[in-house]
């Protein structure tokens, strides 16, 4: 059986404790590899390696670092097929999706930050005719990057690319549920000429290996993407140690559909926003507010679109949805569907597990599910489900739609569908959300600030924001 080993100081190592976690293919339910169960000891060794590598890595010019990171990007592209297959098997997502989105985005993340560092500027301030201030930005040292399972290599590289580009050395942990592509990336980085110790990848459980990264006194910053309650745990540890923290957390994203839209075309896009990647994207719309004037027509069109989201073997090109990431996660999603019914919800489509024939008979598949009749204050409309489940809620006024949309503790992403440009701006400004898409969803420009408000996170990733997070500014004031 394949052993997913730690990558420390340029080499692959078994965990010090000799323990392994089983890694399951969610489309079959079968164990297909073993993941290092790392402890604080493994993390300490990784931090030592990262510390030793920091002086020389941070002393390289931006151009020299850029060249190496561009080579990593290029090699990710060359390994598109094997990385996409690994991602699909590890996560359960359709292979075509991993090939079209996850891996190309990992390649772009590396290339984006590799080139962004060639174009950044610092500022200077003239105070008076005898005084000038100028600002320098320096890398922090060793930083920790912790990522989730839903977009494994995509989000892993979204963190390590700016950290490395800015001159830091990294100890990173992918999710224990989807460690495979980070493991493959380690070899790619070595082959691309990334010096030993600059990137160290440790595997294991969050409360053990992840917590040890957060607790390590020499890790200067933590960039974390994952659940809101995990973010709170990390903040409790890191805040008194005065570490820099970037927290990208959960969401309960509203989709608002006004009465002036093209019903069929919009229903197609709204279904895509709800069910892409099995609804396991932090940005998926999970509460669909629909103008009462088109409610019946829109819901009929949406149900038809949801039913076109064929669930099947992730390796088959015809499968629009694959398996959920784990049995535990599937059970959580099914529990929320049951809860919705207890809360008075009516299932419009889906609402059940799907058992496939053949190779995937033991897989964790759930039908795309739409529910109506649940009040905005119900638990299914307040708590993150993170699966192929969305509720549909009618509204009679813009104010009512906004009140419902803003009624959760989350504020990550929203989408608004209307042909009225004034309303689009007005509603976008009033939404409590870090990201608002108008007549679109998941259109990403890597230069834009990315992150949430309220319990969806602290700080922003993307573009210059990420480079700011991974550097410390220093003002130098000179009088002459
Ligand atoms: P999670 O919080 O369970 O785990 C995320 C990562 O943190 C994993 O690597 C895990 O091992 C680690 N971890 C867990 N406990 C830890 C601890 N005590 N200390 C340090 N590390 C710890 O989240 P998940 O289930 O992997 O991912 C799903 C969640 O991620 C959802 O809530 C989703 O909305 C969120 N998410 C947010 C974004 C965003 O950009 N805001 C993007 C993707 C996913």
* Domain of residue 278, CATH code: 3.40.309.10
Same domain, 68 and 189: yes
Nearest CA to ligand 1 atom 20: 210
Distances (CA, A) of 322 to 34, 96, 337: 22, 11, 19
Question: For residues 152 and 184, what is the distance between their CA atoms, to the nearest angstrom?
Answer: 12
pLDDT one-digit tens code per residue, 152-169: 999 999 999 999 999 999
The β-bridge relationship of strands 169-173 and 199-201 is parallel
Counted residue by residue, the chain has a size of 480
Which numbered atom of ligand 1 lies nearest the CA of 211?
Answer: 19
Distances (CA, A) of 104 to 75, 77, 80, 98, 139: 11, 7, 8, 8, 27
Q: What is the pLDDT of residue 129?
A: 97
What's the longest Cα–Cα distance across the chain? 80
Q: What is the pLDDT of residue 429?
A: 98
Question: For residues 97 and 312, what is the distance between their CA atoms, to the nearest angstrom?
Answer: 13
Task: Give the H or E element holding residue 200.
Answer: strand 199-201
In the numeric block, the tokens 């323990």 are attached to 19
pTM for the structure as a whole: 0.98
Segment 177-182 shows an average pLDDT of: 98
Question: For residues 285 and 209, what is the distance between their CA atoms, to the nearest angstrom?
Answer: 32
**If you measure from the C-alpha of residue 270 to the centroid of ligand 1, how many angstroms do you get, rounded to a whole number?**
25
DSSP string, 262-323: -HHHHHHHHHHHHHGGGG-STT-EEEEEEEGGGHHHHHHHHHHHHHTS-B--TTSTT-SB--
Q: What is the pLDDT of residue 238?
A: 98
Same domain, 288 and 237: no
Confidence of residue 418 (pLDDT cuts 50, 70, 90): very high
Q: Find the residues whose C-beta lies inside 6 A of ligand 1.
A: 146-150, 155, 173, 175-176, 206-207, 210-211, 214, 225-227, 230, 233-234, 248-251, 282, 384, 386, 412, 452, 457
**If you measure from the C-alpha of residue 200 to the centroid of ligand 1, how many angstroms do you get, rounded to a whole number?**
19
Confidence of residue 324 (pLDDT cuts 50, 70, 90): very high
**By the 8 A CB rule, do 392 and 306 touch?**
no
Same domain, 87 and 158: yes
**Residue 232 placed within a domain:** yes
Question: For residues 459 and 469, what is the distance between their CA atoms, to the nearest angstrom?
Answer: 8
3-class state of residue 336 by DSSP: helix
Q: What is the pLDDT of residue 471?
A: 98
Same domain, 227 and 293: no
Of 364, 276, 270, 298, residue with least CA distance to 325: 364
In the numeric block, the tokens 């891996």 are attached to 103
**Residue 451 placed within a domain:** no
Measured from the Cβ of residue 142, the count of other Cβ atoms closer than 10 Å reads 27
Same domain, 368 and 425: yes
Same domain, 330 and 297: yes
Percentage of residues of the chain with pLDDT beyond 90: 100
Task: Give the H or E element holding residue 457.
Answer: strand 457-458
Question: For residues 342 and 364, what is the distance between their CA atoms, to the nearest angstrom?
Answer: 23
Active site residue 343: no
Question: For residues 122 and 474, what is the distance between their CA atoms, to the nearest angstrom?
Answer: 10
Same domain, 198 and 259: no
Q: What is the pLDDT of residue 350?
A: 98
Distances (CA, A) of 116 to 55, 63, 223, 338, 467: 22, 10, 19, 47, 9
Same domain, 270 and 377: yes
In the numeric block, the tokens 């998941």 are attached to 442
Question: For residues 104 and 74, what is the distance between their CA atoms, to the nearest angstrom?
Answer: 10
pLDDT one-digit tens code per residue, 292-310: 999 999 999 999 999 999 9
Question: For residues 163 and 140, what is the distance between their CA atoms, to the nearest angstrom?
Answer: 9
Question: For residues 335 and 347, what is the distance between their CA atoms, to the nearest angstrom?
Answer: 14
**If you measure from the C-alpha of residue 149 to the centroid of ligand 1, how many angstroms do you get, rounded to a whole number?**
7
**Residue 450 placed within a domain:** no
What CATH number did the domain enclosing 67 receive? 3.40.605.10
Q: How many helices (H) and strands (E) does the chain have?
A: 16, 23
Same domain, 157 and 271: no
Average pLDDT, the chain: 98
Segment 191-220 shows an average pLDDT of: 98
Number of domains into which the chain is organized: 2
**By the 8 A CB rule, do 212 and 43 touch?**
yes
**Residue 308 placed within a domain:** yes
Question: For residues 397 and 401, what is the distance between their CA atoms, to the nearest angstrom?
Answer: 6
Quote the domain boundaries for residue 405. 253-445
Question: For residues 29 and 359, what is the distance between their CA atoms, to the nearest angstrom?
Answer: 10
Nearest CA to ligand 1 atom 10: 206
**Residue 310 placed within a domain:** yes
**If you measure from the C-alpha of residue 227 to the centroid of ligand 1, how many angstroms do you get, rounded to a whole number?**
4
Q: What is the pLDDT of residue 215?
A: 98
Which numbered atom of ligand 1 lies nearest the CA of 176?
Answer: 11
Strands across the sheet containing 20-25: 2-4, 30-36, 20-25
**Residue 228 placed within a domain:** yes
- The distance from CA 144 to its chain's CA centroid, rounded to whole angstroms, is 16
Question: For residues 428 and 423, what is the distance between their CA atoms, to the nearest angstrom?
Answer: 8
**Residue 354 placed within a domain:** yes
Confidence of residue 76 (pLDDT cuts 50, 70, 90): very high
In this structure, what token pair is assigned to residue 470? Answer: 């991974």
pLDDT one-digit tens code per residue, 3-54: 999 999 999 999 999 999 999 999 999 999 999 999 999 999 999 999 999 9
Of 283, 328, 285, 149, residue with least CA distance to 226: 149
Question: For residues 388 and 382, what is the distance between their CA atoms, to the nearest angstrom?
Answer: 16
Nearest CA to ligand 1 atom 18: 207
Q: Which alpha helices (DSSP H) does 393-451 contain, by range?
A: 398-405, 421-430
Active site residue 282: yes
**By the 8 A CB rule, do 434 and 451 touch?**
yes
Confidence of residue 394 (pLDDT cuts 50, 70, 90): very high
Q: What is the pLDDT of residue 441?
A: 98
**Residue 17 placed within a domain:** yes
Q: What value does the CA radius of gyration of the chain take, rounded to a whole number of Å?
A: 23
Which is catalytic among the residues 248, 280, 343, 465?
A: 248
**If you measure from the C-alpha of residue 115 to the centroid of ligand 1, how many angstroms do you get, rounded to a whole number?**
28
Same domain, 124 and 76: yes
Same domain, 32 and 143: yes
Same domain, 233 and 266: no
């Amino acid at each position: 059986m394949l052993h997913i080993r730690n990558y420390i100081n340029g080499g692959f190592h078994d965990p010090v404790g000799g323990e392994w976690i089983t890694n399951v293919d969610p489309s079959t339910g079968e164990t297909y590899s073993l993941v290092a169960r790392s402890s604080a000891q493994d993390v300490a060794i990784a931090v030592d390696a990262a510390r030793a590598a920091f002086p020389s890595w941070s002393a390289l010019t931006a151009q020299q670092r850029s060249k190496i990171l561009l080579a990593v990007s290029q090699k990710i592209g060359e390994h598109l097929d094997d990385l996409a297959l690994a991602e699909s098997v590890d996560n359960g997502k359709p292979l075509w999706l991993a090939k079209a989105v996850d891996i190309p985005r990992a390649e772009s993340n590396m290339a984006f930050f590799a080139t962004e560092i060639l174009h950044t500027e610092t500022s200077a301030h003239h105070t008076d005719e005898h005084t000038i201030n100028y600002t320098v930005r320096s890398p922090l040292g060793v930083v920790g990057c912790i990522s989730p399972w839903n977009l494994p290599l995509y989000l892993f590289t979204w963190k390590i690319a700016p950290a490395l580009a800015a001159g830091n050395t990294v100890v990173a942990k992918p999710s224990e549920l989807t460690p495979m592509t980070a493991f493959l990336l380690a070899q790619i980085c070595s082959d691309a000429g990334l010096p030993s110790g600059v990137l160290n990848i440790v595997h294991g459980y969050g409360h053990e290996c992840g917590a040890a990264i957060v607790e390590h006194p020499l890790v200067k910053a933590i960039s974390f993407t994952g659940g809101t309650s995990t973010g709170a745990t990390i903040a409790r540890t890191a805040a008194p140690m005065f570490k820099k923290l970037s927290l990208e957390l959960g969401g309960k994203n509203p989709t608002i559909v006004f009465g002036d839209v093209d019903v069929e075309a919009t229903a197609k896009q709204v279904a895509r926003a709800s069910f892409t990647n099995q609804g396991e994207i932090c940005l998926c719309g999970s509460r669909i507010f629909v103008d009462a004037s088109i409610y019946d027509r829109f819901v009929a069109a949406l149900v038809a679109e949801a039913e076109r989201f064929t669930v099947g073997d992730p390796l088959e090109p015809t499968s629009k949805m694959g398996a959920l990431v784990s049995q535990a996660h599937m059970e959580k999603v099914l529990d929320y569907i049951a809860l919705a019914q207890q809360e008075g919800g009516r299932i419009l489509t889906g609402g059940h597990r799907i058992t496939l024939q053949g190779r995937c008979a033991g897989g964790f598949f759930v039908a795309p599910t739409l529910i109506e009749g649940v009040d905005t204050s119900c638990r299914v409309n307040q708590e993150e489900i993170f699966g192929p489940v969305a509720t549909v809620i009618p509204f009679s006024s813009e104010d009512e739609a906004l009140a419902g949309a803003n009624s959760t503790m989350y504020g990550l992403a929203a989408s608004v569908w209307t042909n009225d440009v004034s309303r689009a701006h007005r509603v976008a400004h009033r939404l409590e959300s870090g990201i608002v898409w108008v007549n679109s969803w998941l259109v990403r420009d890597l230069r834009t600030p990315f992150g949430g408000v309220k319990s969806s996170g602290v700080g922003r990733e993307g573009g210059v924001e990420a480079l700011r997070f991974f550097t410390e500014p220093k003002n130098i004031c000179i009088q002459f």
